[in-house]
Each structure stands twice: as structure tokens, then as C-alpha cells.
Amino acid sequence: RANHEKVLSLQNTLYIPRSLSSLYYVNIYHAGAGRDQNTTSALHIEGVPPNMEYLEIVNSAYNGMNITNPEAPININNCTIRNNRGYGVFINSSYGSAEIFGCVINENGADGIRYVHAEERPDERPDRLGYSDFCQLAVASGQTYPVQIFAEQSIFQTRDQECSKVFTTNIGHVLTLHFIRAATERNDSASIEIYEGSNLNNRLITKFSIRNNTRPQSLTSNGNQMFIMFRASAGTEMVIFMRIMSGLRKSFDVNVS
């Protein structure tokens, strides 16, 4: 795992973890053969990926590159990854924002690029580290992102739950809402509504009922504001985890160009 720092970018709206390590002009040949005929990826990365440019990974015994549970965007530029027995690039990620630019990836034994969206389970952490209670969250006018939140209802709560928040970024930017995980003991007992703008009087983007282990597709605002309303019936045990990102365009899982 590389040491890293958090950098405030996009006109001071988005914190991005950035590795303090770099791989520039690195050639890796015939790698991945271990003891007892075990094979590994020529390059294995966890945590915050290093800055990678002008890599050449050729003729390895398994995958050319394996990136598991990255905690930051992935940038691979001007690389050559070929003639490896497994995948050229294998990515297992819940973070997304993987960008592969100007690379030649061919003649590998399996797919050139394989991306798998990992299932994040923050509800299994006793402290829900990194996530804030949606209903208790104080939102600043100059909010920085990403914002990670959870909305919940308890089986011991005798009243319906209802709370809302408006999130704002810079003019010219958009907000993307990702649904990380939902768990409930009673389907359709809670709902989320998302509106353009700052209140209920604006255009409704979508409304959905929360169902156990079902995640809606990510959605992006047209403007720089997003209003979120959470409602839950009394006497139900449920939680939904969400992540809000700010950027100049809709955030993506993987982009190859």
C-alpha cells in the first residue's frame, strides 16, 4: 500500500486521495511465476493506486495488472500490456473512476480489461467508519465532496421518520449520487426522493422504495444542486448507504480512451 495524501481539487469542491508513489517508464517481463507452480499478477495494487505512465507488462504467467479495492481514482496512461496468460488489467472496485488512456492492451489469454464492481458493506462495520448520519448531517454552503451518508430507521422507533437535505456544488459542476448498499427487514417500508434544485417544488428526478440488497442505478443532477428526501415507516429496521460526488460531468466506473 502506497503512502498518500488528500488533495482538494475542482475549485476546492472534491477531495481526491493521491499516491505519493509513481511508476513511470517501468518494464515488467515474464513475471508472476511463484513457488510450487503458483502464479500471481505481474503487478498487484491495493489501497491508493500509484501514478502510472509508460508501463510495459509483457509475457507474465497470470494477469498483467490486478487492482483490488482501490481507495482512489485509477489512472493508467500510455501503457503496453500484452501476451499475459490472464487478464491484461483486472479491476475489482467499489470506488470507480478508473481511467485508461492511450494504452495498447492485446493478445492476453483472457479479456484485455476486466472490471468488477465490488460490493461494499459498510453496515457490517460496527462504527460505520467514514459515513455520517443523513438526518443529523450539517451541510455547509461551500460543501466539499465526496460526502458519505447513511439514512436509517429502527424497529424500536414508534414514529415515522422523515428528513431532507440539499447539497450544493459550484455553478457549472454536477452532483452524482451513488447508492452503496441497502438493507431492510421489510421491503417498501422506506423511500428516497431526489429533486433537482433546493426543495420539493423543483423537478423530481426519481423516487424509489427501498428493498433489501437492491441498489438503484447512480444518478446525476443537471445543475449544481440536489435535494434528497428520506421517509421511513415506524417499527422497521433498515439502512441505506449513499455517496455523493461532485465533478464537471457524471462520475464513471471505468473510462477507456
Q: What pLDDT does 95 receive? A: 85
Q: What is the β-pairing status of strands 43-47 and 65-70?
A: parallel
Domain end, chosen from 63, 91, 118, is at: 118
Bridge partners, residue 229, by sequence: 164, 193
Residue 113's SS3 state is: strand
Domain end, chosen from 90, 118, 146, is at: 118
Three cell numbers, residue 57: 507488462
CB distance 102 to 77 below 8 Å: yes
At residue 117, does pLDDT exceed 90?
A: no
Each residue's pLDDT tens digit, 170-221: 999 999 999 999 999 999 999 999 999 998 899 999 999 999 988 888 999 9
Domain count, the chain: 2
Least trusted range by pLDDT, from 37-41, 87-91, 104-108, 112-116: 37-41
Domain end, chosen from 58, 87, 118, is at: 118
Same domain, 127 and 238: yes
At residue 18, does pLDDT exceed 80?
A: yes
Q: What pLDDT does 77 receive? A: 96
Same domain, 96 and 154: no
31 occurs within a structural domain: yes
* pLDDT band, very low/low/confident/very high, at 42 (cuts 50, 70, 90): very high
Q: Which class for 257: exposed (0-12), middle (13-18), buried (19 or more C-beta within 10 A)?
A: exposed
Q: How far is the first Cα of the chain from the last one, in angstroms, to the nearest whole number?
A: 27
Cβ-count burial 108-130 (b if 16+ within 10 Å, e if not):
beeebbbbeeeebebbeeeebee
Cα–Cα separations (whole angstroms), residue 107 to 8, 101, 115, 232: 39, 18, 18, 52
Alpha-helical (H) ranges within 190-245 are none
Q: For residue 180, what is the domain's CATH number?
A: 2.60.120.290
* pLDDT band, very low/low/confident/very high, at 245 (cuts 50, 70, 90): very high
Same domain, 127 and 242: yes
Q: What is the mean pLDDT of residues 3-12?
A: 83
Q: What is the mean pLDDT of residues 54-83?
A: 94
Q: Which class for 190: exposed (0-12), middle (13-18), buried (19 or more C-beta within 10 A)?
A: buried
At residue 67, does pLDDT exceed 90?
A: yes
Share of the chain above pLDDT 90, in %: 67
Enter the DSSP assignment of 138. Answer: P
**63, 64, 70, 75 alpha-carbon torsion, rounded to 10°:** -150
At residue 2, does pLDDT exceed 80?
A: no
Q: Which domain holds residue 105?
A: 4-118
**217, 223, 224, 229 alpha-carbon torsion, rounded to 10°:** -50
Each residue's pLDDT tens digit, 128-172: 778 999 999 988 777 889 999 999 999 998 899 999 999 999 999
At residue 123, does pLDDT exceed 80?
A: no
Q: What pLDDT does 71 receive? A: 86
256 occurs within a structural domain: no
CB distance 146 to 247 below 8 Å: no
255 occurs within a structural domain: no
At residue 1, does pLDDT exceed 70?
A: no
Three cell numbers, residue 41: 499478477
Residue 244's SS3 state is: strand
